[in-house]
Structure formats: C-alpha cells, structure tokens
C-alpha cells in the first residue's frame, strides 16, 4: 500500500499504473460551520445521508484526482500476490519485494511449483511471511488447477482462492479488471466511514454493505482510492489533521 501506511487499493488492469501523484488535500480558508455539521455520527438517514455521502465523495475526488492503487503491478496475478503481501505491511515495503519475486516466478505455474522455503525468504521482510507464502502457493496452485493459470474475474471464484477474502477480491476486480463489484473496506475506509457518519458498523463486510447504496456503482473503485488516500494523508487514525481537511465543515468527527 501507500508510502508508510498499512493497506492497499486502486488502478487499472494490465497496463502499468500512472506515476502521477496527487497532492494532499488543500486547506480551505473557510471557517468550519458547526451549523452545517451533522450533530453526531449516524445522525443522518435517507436522502440527507445520501446527500452527505455524495458531498464527501465530491470533495475527496477533487482533493485526490489522481488517487490510485499504490501497489506496483503489471498483471492481475501480480496484483493478487502484492495484495496478499500487503496484509499488515506497507505498500512501500511490498513494492521493494515484488520486483525480485515477479522476476523469479513469471506466472501462476512457476509460482505453484515454487519451493516454500525459497518463497518465504524472498517475502520475509513483509512480515507474517510463513502464512503469506502458504497463501501464495495455495492460491497459485488453485489458479493452475481450476482456472488454467489465470486469475478469475468473479467475486465467487476469487474468494474461493486460498488467502483471498472479499477485500482482496474487490482490489483485484476493481484495479486489475475494471469491475465495480464492491467497495474495498480496509482499515482506512472502515475508520473514515465511521468518522464521516456514514455507518456505525465496524465489521468490514457490514461497512461495505452500508456504503454500497450510498454511492454510484461506477465510482466504487475510485471511492476506495480517495478514502484510503485521505486516511493515509489527512485523517490519520490517531492524529487526524482536521484543520487542513476539506471535509471539516461537514464531518461529524471534526476536532475543531
């Protein structure tokens, strides 16, 4: 995932992602209007909640127009491997490890035949390397046995692969295949959805189900990106920079 943060997100298929980087959210001069701000988390519902959600999305997309997946990849398989490695690890670290990994194992068949100890050694610095190596091996073998070595394009098939849950599947569908099947809910998206007052759920699957009806389907992948970027750059878990946040006049959690 991103620079020094834990967790993944966006970009399009076989083509390599753009290197363009969006700047951090620009502070606005406008003063926070307590009157505009929802009184408490979850205080809005129905049409008001939908308007609140869409305004948040509009502002985040304006703040991070170039938001994208910060994992380096060229193929769906590479993104799948990188996403598995990104668990409890920064994107920056994953991106340091994957060039050698992808050079050593060119496709699913090569990965499926990998020596476990050698694979563990290559990915050791990403942490939890034993479990990750087992997941990658198991995933690659399943791809060879069930899908001819290709990464499947459906949620049902993806989540049946070892080491692949709904979040990882959404990353692959959205960024490798351009399919908006769901919203990636990682630690940032889950935290921000609560701070924005969009849900009180904490379980990732329930957060996703709460978010889906609030946003246009074609925007789900980009929504994950801009929320993750905002969580990494401004709305930090411990020290949110509310004073420079473009949402501070409408965020029920603003510390101002």
Strand partners, 90: 6
Give start and end residues of each alpha helix (H) in the chain: 46-63, 76-85, 91-104, 108-112, 116-123, 129-147, 155-158, 166-176, 187-195, 204-211, 220-233
Q: Judged by CB, which is closer to ligand SF4: 61, or 157?
A: 61
Locus of tokens 């491997």 = 81
- Smallest gap from Cβ 132 to ligand SF4, in A, equals 31
Token output for 246: 């473009």
- Smallest gap from Cβ 241 to ligand SF4, in A, equals 6
- Smallest gap from Cβ 136 to ligand SF4, in A, equals 35
Q: Which is nearest to 163 in space by CA: 87, 225, 94? A: 87
Token output for 10: 């966006």
- Smallest gap from Cβ 29 to ligand SF4, in A, equals 16
Q: Which is nearest to 137 in space by CA: 160, 153, 157, 117? A: 117
Q: Which residues are catalytic?
A: 167, 186
The DSSP result for 168-185, as a single string, is HHHHHHHHHS---SS---
Contact residues: ligand SF4, CB under 6 A: 195, 234-235, 240-242, 245, 247-248, 251, 253-255
Token output for 177: 């295949």
């Amino acid at each position: 995932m991103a620079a020094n943060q834990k967790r993944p997100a966006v970009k399009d298929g076989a083509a390599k992602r753009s290197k363009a980087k969006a700047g951090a959210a620009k502070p606005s001069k406008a003063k926070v209007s307590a009157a505009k701000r929802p009184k408490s988390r979850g205080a809005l519902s129905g049409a008001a909640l939908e308007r609140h959600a869409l305004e948040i999305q509009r502002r985040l997309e304006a703040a991070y127009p170039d938001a994208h997946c910060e994992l380096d990849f060229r193929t769906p398989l590479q993104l799948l491997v990188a996403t598995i490695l990104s668990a409890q690890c920064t994107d920056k670290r994953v991106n340091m490890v994957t060039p050698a990994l992808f050079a050593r194992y060119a496709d699913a068949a090569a990965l499926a035949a990998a020596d476990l100890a050698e694979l563990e050694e290559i990915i050791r610095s990403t942490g939890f390397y034993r479990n990750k190596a087992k997941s990658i091996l198991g995933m690659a073998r399943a791809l060879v046995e069930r899908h001819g070595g290709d990464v499947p394009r459906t949620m049902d098939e993806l989540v049946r692969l070892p080491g692949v849950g709904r979040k990882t599947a959404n990353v692959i569908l959205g960024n490798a295949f351009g399919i908006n099947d769901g919203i990636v809910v990682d630690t940032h998206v889950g935290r921000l959805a609560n701070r924005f007052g969009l849900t009180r759920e904490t379980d990732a699957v329930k957060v996703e189900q709460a978010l889906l009806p609030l946003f246009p389907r074609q925007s789900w992948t980009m929504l994950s990106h801009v929320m993750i970027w905002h969580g990494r750059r401004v709305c930090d878990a411990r020290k949110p920079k509310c004073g420079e946040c473009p949402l501070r006049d409408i965020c029920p959690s603003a510390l101002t």
